[in-house]
Amino acid sequence: MKKPSILLVDDEVAFANNLLKLMSKRGYDVVVVYNGADAVNMVGEKEFDVIILDMKMPGMDGIATLKEIKKKAPLVEVVILTGHGSVESGIEGMQLGAFDFLMKPVSIDDLQEKVSEAYQRKLIQRESG
Amino acid sequence: MEPEQEVGVSIKQPHPEKKGKERYSKLFRKFIFLTLICSLVPLFLVGWGIYAYYSGFSKIRIMDHFKNQVEHHREIIELFLRERTSDLQLVILTHSSDSLQNPGNLKRIFSIMNQGSSFFTDLGLIDDEGNHLAYIGPYALMDKNYSQTFWFKEVMKKGIYISDMFMGFRNAPHFIIAVTRIEGNRKWILRASIDTEYFRSLVENVKIGATGEVYLSNQEGILQTTPRFSGKIMEKAQLPAEFFSEESSIGIYEADNNDPNRRFPRQLVAYTWLESPRWKLVVKQDYAEAFRDANQANRAALIFLHFSLLIIFVISVISTRYMIKIIKNQDEETDLLNKQLVQAGKLASLGELSAGVAHEINNPLAIILTESQVMRDTIEEAPSLNDEVKTELIASLSQTESQVHRCSLITQNLLKFSRRNKSQRETVNLNAFLEEVIRFMDGKARGAGIRFALDLEKDIPSFRSDPSLLQQVFINLINNAVDAHEGKPYGTINIGTRTDSQRHGVEITVGDTGSGISPENMEKIFDPFFTTKTVGKGTGLGLSITYSTIKGLGGDISVRSTIGKGTQFNIFLPFSPPGNAQENREEVITPPRSSI
């Protein structure tokens, strides 16, 4: 099965780069950006299957970024990743159209699983839509 | 006996009992003092003022009355003497000497004069040389010559004369009234003796009680009547002699201790002078008797006053005690509230801190975990490493990841400790709910040799609460109870419920037969991160979360513990939790191992 293309948005450079390495190694097409504004721009330039989005970022935070992304690419699935771990922000994100949320620290296996679920849903939606 | 401590609601500081008692005793004394000053002093002043005023007033009234009585009585005596003098004058003016010398006439006149009462003892007609011309009376006085007697000289000089008491030829105390008439060139005298006993009864006819006496004395101080108690007629009177005065007088007579006739140590004495003869009318009464009614009234007033003072004192003591009790209760409530506020403040600030710390730690943890996973990938793909080295490195990485997860669990607990969510209210059947929790924990307890003993009151009404929160509370407490038996081969966890109709709620007890809590730890058990468990076994958040949950549900939690015997938590949950408690709550999850 084709691996989904992923946009990874996180201001923690080390974490983002590690995930880039791990996901790339597992066959994903991963693009990394380090803030919300770049993520929105990137969504405008390229189509992604799943976006992994950090909640707490300087400047445009995760919620604002999510809103803008959903405006530009309503079908893209977003998995929220947060170090804050608050259920409220996760729920808020899901109400804005995010697929699900995960709390840091997250293992690559859990992330992979969640990304797969998100991608599956996107595929189903695309087929039904 | 092992020390037993009780912690109410959350943290009950050891109350500075002695200091508190002293403070309330001091407050009590101050209140009593002020109350008594404010109530007793005015009452005392008014009471004693009225008492003093009316004592003086009644004394003056009694003395005035006494004095008026004496003056009135003087008028009666004077009227009597004037009437008797008039009787003689009428006779002497309407009859000639010759007519009166007729014994039959004189006798008839004498009997007419005594018709009303026996005023006169005798009646005699005497010529200007002092010889009796005629005489009617019980004494043999016809042959007596009075020319040298004092009264004869006085009446010859003045025309009318009333004598003092004297013995005379009859040798018995009496006094006479004599009048003269000049007939032709001869002067003659009509003389009558007044009946001494009749006169005495007249003089004494005053209402002066059991101790009163009335008498007459002349200017030389010689008694003219026999007083009731002090002396006899013709003797020296008790009061000193003095000359005639037109003024009446009244005063207090203090008897001389050496006076043989001293019967009454203190007497009220009033006297007034008769104009003719110049006799002093003296009325005496024992002071105590004279003022008895007034004194009784005053005594009654004083008794009433002192009784009122006593009543006020008693009421002041009772009301002050009641006030102190109210103040004490309020102080205790305030104290408790302050402690709760401190505890709530601690938890709130800790919540904020926890959220920040958790977030800041989560990111590095995420990096460590991903770094570890990158390394794991790298190691697995490295062809130059032999299997043994690979296994060792992978094991190290697994350990690293395991510790990251452990840290992650702690930070998640911290975050959940600090977060607030919407409450999930449901109807809770407490007994069934507890039984379910116990079933859940039974395996762990059995493994530690511990059994559950239930004492659940039947028919406890169901109430609205948050079952997920309650579940965490009881799991925390049971976990702690199981852990408290460490080192003991077996034990019991007692769980009981009973309705508290007074507070409209339910009381739940969770007790164990474990090692108990030491007094120094008792103060800290609800503090976050306080734990007595070994490192890695407890986060120290279990009882903090339990506390904040119970408080959030509008309830109460207290703990009692005896070292070596066990610990008992008492939880109160209201049937109707406050709105805030319903709407907002601490979201609580069970730590991997609860504190304590």
The verdict on residue B89 lying in a domain is no
Note whether B404 contacts A21, CB cutoff 8 Å: no
Where is B267: in which H helix or E strand? strand B266-273
The percent of residues above 70 in pLDDT, for chain B, comes to 85
Tally of helices (H runs) and strands (E runs) in chain A: 5, 5
Please report the number of interchain residue pairs, chain A to chain B, with beta-carbon separation below 8 angstroms: 68
> Which candidate, B148, B234, B140, B137, places its Cα nearest to that of B190?
B137
Check whether residue B271 and residue B251 sit in a common domain.
yes
The amino acid occupying position B252 is I
Same domain, yes or no, for B435 and B514? Answer: yes
Instruction: Give residue B86's pLDDT.
Output: 95
Phi (first) and psi of residue B319, to 5 degrees:
-65, -40
Higher-scoring residue by pLDDT: B439, A41: A41
- A119 to chain B, closest Cα gap in Å: 22
Domain total for chain A? Answer: 1
Work out the minimum CA distance from B357 to partner chain A, whole angstroms. 10
- Domain of residue B268, CATH code: 3.30.450
CB contact under 8 A, A87 and B359: no
Q: What does the pLDDT read at residue B180?
A: 95
**% residues pLDDT > 70 (chain A):** 93
Same domain, residue pair B139 and B277? no
pLDDT at B6: 46
CB A66 within 8 A of CB A97: yes
pLDDT at B56: 87
Whether the per-residue pLDDT at B5 is higher than 70: the answer is no
* % chain B with pLDDT above 90: 27
Domain containing A21: what range?
A: 6-128
Q: Please check whether residues B470 and B564 belong to one and the same domain.
A: yes
Mean pLDDT of chain B: 82
* Res B426 pLDDT > 80: no
The band of B593, judged by pLDDT with boundaries at 50, 70 and 90, is very low
Res B569 pLDDT > 90: yes
| Residue A1: inside a domain | no
**pLDDT-derived band of residue B592, with 50, 70 and 90 as boundaries?**
very low
Report how far apart, in Å, the C-alpha atoms of B127 and of each of B154, B208, B225 are: 14, 44, 30
Summarize pLDDT for B108-131 with one digit per residue, the tens. Answer: 999 999 988 889 999 999 999 999
**Range of lowest pLDDT (B9-23, B24-38, B197-211, B521-535):** B9-23
Examine residue A19 and state whether it is found in any structural domain, yes or no: yes
List of chain A residues whose C-beta atoms are within 8 Å of the C-beta of residue B373: 18, 22, 107-108
Q: What's the pLDDT score for residue B102?
A: 85
Q: Is B532:B520 a contact under the CB 8 Å cutoff?
A: no
**Mean pLDDT of the region B379-383:** 85
pLDDT at B581: 40
Give the pLDDT of residue B40.
82
**Residue B8: per-residue pLDDT:** 39
Q: Is the pLDDT of residue B135 over 50?
A: yes
Residue B262 belongs to some domain of the structure: yes
| Distance in Å, alpha carbon of A13 to nearest chain B alpha carbon | 9
Looking at residue A88, which CATH number applies to its domain?
3.40.50.2300
Nearest one of B120, B124, B118 to B136, comparing CA atoms: B124
Please give the average per-residue pLDDT across B358-380, as a whole number. 87
CATH number at residue B447: 3.30.565.10
- Do residue A85 and residue B362 have CB atoms under 8 angstroms apart? yes
Is B170 in the same domain as B210? no
**pLDDT attached to residue A129:** 60
Cα separation, B444 vs B566, whole angstroms: 19
Question: What is the model's pLDDT at position B538?
Answer: 58
Q: What is residue B288's predicted lDDT score, i.e. its pLDDT?
A: 86
**Is residue B129 located within the same domain as residue B211?**
no
Q: Clarify whether residues B454 and B572 are in a common domain.
A: yes
Q: What tokens were used for B595?
A: 């504190």
Which one of A15, A22, A86 has the shortest CB-CB distance to B363? A15
Q: Is B447 exposed, middle or buried (0-12, 13-18, 19+ CB in 10 A)?
A: exposed
Residue B589 clears pLDDT 60, i.e. is over it: no
B549 and B441 both lie in a single domain: yes
d(CA B454, CA B437): 12
Question: Within this chain, do residues B159 and B235 fall inside the same structural domain, yes or no?
Answer: no
Q: How confident is the model at residue B352 (pLDDT cuts 50, 70, 90)?
A: low
Mean pLDDT of B486-499: 90
- Residues of chain B in contact with residue A14, where contact means CB-CB under 8 angstroms, are 367, 371
pLDDT of B14 reads 43
Residue range of the domain that includes B185: 95-198
Identify whether the C-beta of residue B201 lies closer than 8 Å to the C-beta of residue B222. Answer: no
Q: Of B135-144, B330-339, B387-396, B530-539, where does mean pLDDT reach its minimum?
A: B530-539
Number of folded domains in chain B? 3
In whole angstroms, how far apart are CA B275 and each of B37, B77, B218? 60, 11, 11
Residue B389 scores a pLDDT above 60: yes
Label the pairing between strands B280-286 and B426-428. Answer: unpaired
Q: Is residue B80 part of a domain?
A: no
* A104 → closest Cβ in B365, B377, B421: B365
Return the minimum-mean-pLDDT range out of A106-110, B250-254, B325-329.
B250-254
**In this structure, how many other beta carbons lie within 10 angstroms of the beta carbon of residue B121?**
21
CA B467 to chain centre: 55
- Specify the pTM: 0.47
Residue B337 belongs to a domain: no
Q: What's the pLDDT tens digit per position in A50-101?
A: 999 998 888 898 899 999 999 999 889 999 987 765 556 677 788 888 898 8
B367, A108: Cβ pair inside 8 Å?
Answer: no
For range B320-336, the mean pLDDT: 88
Stronger pLDDT, B137 or B254, i.e. the higher one: B137
Which whole number is the average pLDDT over B533-549? 69
> On the CB side of B528, how many CA atoms lie within 13 Å of its CA?
20
Q: Which of B271, B290, B309 is the last residue of a domain?
A: B290
Four-residue CA torsion sign, B111, B116, B117, B119: negative
Q: What is the DSSP string of B404-448?
A: HHHHHHHHHHHHHHH-EEE---EEE-HHHHHHHHHHHHHHHHHHT
Cβ within 8 Å, pair A88-B415: no
> How far apart (Å, rounded) are the C-alpha atoms in residues B400 and B392?
12
Which of B237, B264, B290 is the C-terminal boundary of a domain? B290
pLDDT of B156 reads: 94
Closest chain A residue to the Cα of B376, Cα to Cα: A22
Per-residue confidence (pLDDT) for residue B13, from 0 to 100: 40
Inter-chain contact B369–A106, Cβ cutoff 8 Å? yes
Within-domain flag for B562: yes
Q: Which one has a higher pLDDT value, B331 or B357?
A: B331
Cβ distance A12 to B366 less than 8 Å, yes or no, reads yes
Cα separation, B335 vs B346, whole angstroms:
16
Whole-complex ipTM: 0.85
pLDDT at B331 exceeding the cut of 60: yes
B295: enclosing H helix or E strand: helix B292-381
Q: Are residues B540 and B480 in the same domain?
A: yes
> Which residue(s) pair with A52 in the sheet?
A8, A79
CB-CB neighbors (< 8 A) of B369 in chain A:
105-107
Q: Which residues of B touch A56 (CB under 8 A)?
A: 359
Lowest-confidence region among B211-215, B233-237, B405-409, B491-495: B405-409
Residue of A86, A104, A107 with shortest CB distance to B363: A104
pLDDT at B529: 64
- Domain presence at residue B101: yes
Q: Does residue B533 come out as left (phi exceeding 0), alpha (psi in the -120 to 50 range) or beta?
A: beta
- Based on the domain organization, do B155 and B209 belong to the same domain? no
Q: Which of B362, B367, B408 sits opposite A14 (nearest CB)?
A: B367
Flag whether pLDDT at B37 surpasses 80: yes
pLDDT one-digit tens code per residue, B85-111: 999 999 999 999 989 998 788 999 999
Give B176 or B261, the one with higher predicted confidence: B176
Query: Hey, what are B153's tokens?
Result: 């000289």
Pairing, β A29-33 against β B280-286: unpaired
User: In the prediction, which pLDDT does A94 show?
Assistant: 81
Query: Domain boundary residue among B198, B220, B242?
Result: B198
Residues of A in contact with B398 (CB under 8 A): none
Inform me whether the pLDDT recorded for B536 exceeds 60.
no
User: Which of A17, A89, A104 to substitute to test the interface with B, most B CBs within 10 Å?
Assistant: A104
Which has the closest alpha carbon to A54: A24, A21, A98? Answer: A98
Both tokens of residue B288?
């105590």
